[in-house]
Amino acid sequence: MAREFHATSFGNQLGIHRCDEHLSPERLHLKSKSGLQVLVVEDEPLIRMLIEDMLIEIGCKNIKAVASIDNALIFLADNRPDFAILDVDLSGTRSYPVAALLRSCKTPFLFVSGL
């Protein structure tokens, strides 16, 4: 059963409404053998490590964790992850440029925040 994800007003601007098309059970099953490539963009080191640990615990083997928008954009210039987790606020700067690039590449992502 597909789950509908409700977008925020910014998500509506990006056209984010569903992620089940990109992370269907079939795609996850096929990728699980080789491991999903997940991008984590988080500026707080302890939170970044916690997210990485949780991803490893559920079987992700190919995780790229960066602490800044610039490093995320550099990584995305040559790589296309299967999924991304973005902190909304990176030391006072919003991660929206990374989200826009991911969306243009049809890469599913989610925002996390401690705001």
Are the C-beta atoms of 84 and 102 separated by less than 8 Å?
yes
Domains recognised in the chain with CATH numbers: 9-112 (3.40.50.2300)
Closest C-alpha among 90, 81, 82 to residue 111: 90
Residue 104 in this model has a pLDDT that exceeds 50 = yes
- The number of residues making up the chain comes to 115
Mean pLDDT across 69-90:
96
The predicted model scores a pTM of: 0.72
pLDDT, tens only, 29-60: 545 545 789 999 999 999 999 999 999 888 88
